[in-house]
Amino acid sequence: MKPNASNLEVFYNTFREISKAVHSSTDLKEVLDLAVCKATEALGAKGAILRILNLDTNELELSAAYNLSDAYLAKGPVSQKNLITDLYRQSRVIVIEDIHHDPRIHYPQEVASEGIRMVLDTSLSFRNHIAGILRIYFAEARPVSDEERDFLVSLADQCALAIEKNRLIEAQKNKFDLLALQTEKLSALGRMAAGIAHEINNPLAGILLFSSNLFKKVPDEGPLKEGLGIIMRETQRCKFIIQELLEFARDKEPRKTPASITTILQKSLNILENEFRLRHIRIEKDLTPDLPDGCVDANQLEQVFVNLLLNAAQAIDEGGTITIRSRANPAHRELAVDIIDTGCGIPAENLGKIFEPFFSTKKNGSGLGLAVSFGIVKNHQGRLEVSSRPGQGSQFTVALPSARNPA
Ligand SMILES: Nc1ncnc2c1ncn2[C@@H]1O[C@H](COP(=O)(O)OP(=O)(O)OP(=O)(O)O)[C@@H](O)[C@H]1O
Ligand SMILES: [Mg+2]
């Protein structure tokens, strides 16, 4: 087709129509259907198809077609490695005049019986990646002008943009779906845990009562006393786990008052003093003297620090350092406490799981410490974050709004 003013106007209007659809529509199919139809009309072609590259299978899958028979469209999907390489290497637009002897045409017989004599391929490119191809079919072989090539490339870029936009939306949607599922799972788990904990609490209290009564009556020496001692200790442990479960499931609203975070930290350290001494763990403090108060439930926050410090001690096991650092951001709106250990660290594949209830790598761990702590910090509008280097240590950060924060 020879370029003339009216052709250019058609190209321009078509391009505008497609780019408007790309920006205003979230329905990818609708945009691509429009693109193949308008491209065919603007070029006076016979029909067109658009194939999107499936990144998993590396195949070009049919996504939109215009004016081609169902029988022809039923072919495929086809692996188009050669075609993609050619589009990369040669140019964005490839003209295939000899449909019978070109390896890029997979079904020459069918193409010919569709009444097609020439094929024009344009790559759909996005940031140097090929997202698919736009193939235009002509009933007659004819020269292709530069203006037509430019038009096709611009149109193909718009389609690539629509595909990429759709991929982003889908990825975002999957993320949200996953999050919603996770939240739903957690709250179902919470309800179930609360039910079970409640049911088990009473029989446990009975076991504990009768075993401690017997404990008092049996002779001091002998296997009976020892056995009863074990029953009592293990029952206590069960009660403790149940208590933690109930706390977790109850999701208690914090009773917040302005309080010194440094004081709460110190209290938590005192509780674990013995643990640190026994394990030969050195505590290094790097505390900001004028740390603003937090608006917190002191008991709950103490529980968080104890959980984190205990985890740090258990990760070190024997001989190491726990550094406790406190800091406030410049506007004193947020304060943070880092608990850094020189322990075993957390493998990357576990980082996403450690805040889940019941995830534990310890022989006697309930896996509730971090789940409970995460819930408490979240209820304080704060964040509990982790970074870790396996074999070197981990850092847990509790970030909280300060009492000066109007929020
Ligand atoms: N400082 C840390 N260093 C290395 N791994 C850690 C650290 N803190 C937590 N973890 C990992 O995260 C898991 C979950 O921790 P969490 O405190 O929730 O449960 P737990 O310590 O196993 O049991 P619980 O606290 O209920 O007794 C741990 O089992 C451990 O694998
Ligand atoms: Mg723990």
Q: Which of 305, 335, 323 shows the shortest CA–CA distance to 393?
A: 323
Mean pLDDT by 10 residues, the chain (407 residues): 67 90 87 95 94 84 91 72 65 84 81 89 84 92 92 92 89 79 72 78 89 91 89 89 74 82 94 91 94 91 94 96 93 91 96 88 87 89 94 96 76
In degrees rounded to 5, what are phi and psi of residue 389? Answer: -125, 110
**Which atom in ligand 1 lies closest to the alpha carbon of residue 368?**
26
| Residue 29, pLDDT score | 93
Q: How far is the CA of 371 from the centre of ligand 1 (A)?
A: 10
Beta bridge partners of 328: 335
| Residue 177, pLDDT score | 79
Residue partners of 355: CB distance under 8 A and separation at least 6:
370, 371, 374, 384
Pairing of strands 320-328, 281-286: parallel
Amino acid at 151: F
Cα(199)–Cα(201) distance, rounded to whole angstroms? 6
| Residue 2, pLDDT score | 47
| Residue 304, pLDDT score | 94
Residue 372 CA: distances (Å) to CA of 245, 267, 269, 335, 396: 9, 19, 19, 20, 14
Which residue from 245, 247, 342, 360 has its CB within 8 A of the most atoms of ligand 1, so it is best to mutate? 360
Q: Is the CB of 315 under 6 A from ligand 1?
A: yes
Q: Is the CB of 362 under 6 A from ligand 1?
A: yes
**Which atom in ligand 1 lies closest to the alpha carbon of residue 355?**
18
Classify residue 280 as exposed, middle or buried by CB count within 10 Å of its CB (0-12, 13-18, 19+).
exposed
Full set of structural domains in the chain with CATH = 5-168 (3.30.450.40), 174-250 (1.10.287), 257-401 (3.30.565.10)
| Residue whose CA lies nearest to ligand 1 atom number 19 | 367
Q: Is the CB of 321 under 6 A from ligand 1?
A: no
Beta bridge partners of 118: 138
Q: Which of 337, 371, 315, 341 shows the shortest CA–CA distance to 264?
A: 337
Cα(135)–Cα(116) distance, rounded to whole angstroms? 12
As a three-state string, the secondary structure of the chain is CCCCHHHHHHHHHHHHHHHHHHHHCCCHHHHHHHHHHHHHHHHCCCEEEEEEEECCCCEEEEEEEECCCHHHHCCCCEECHHHHHHHHHCCCEEEECCCCCCCCCCCHHHHHHCCCCEEEEEEEEECCEEEEEEEEEECCCCCCCHHHHHHHHHHHHHHHHHHHHHHHHHHHHHHHHHHHHHHHHHHHHHHHHHHHHHHHHHHHHHHHHHHHHHHHHCCCCCHHHHHHHHHHHHHHHHHHHHHHHHHHHHCCCCCCEEECHHHHHHHHHHHCHHHHHHCCEEEEEECCCCCCCEEECHHHHHHHHHHHHHHHHHHHCCCEEEEEEEEECCCCCEEEEEEEECCCCCCHHHHCCCCCCCCCCCCCCCCCHHHHHHHHHHHCCCEEEEEEECCCEEEEEEEEEECCCCC
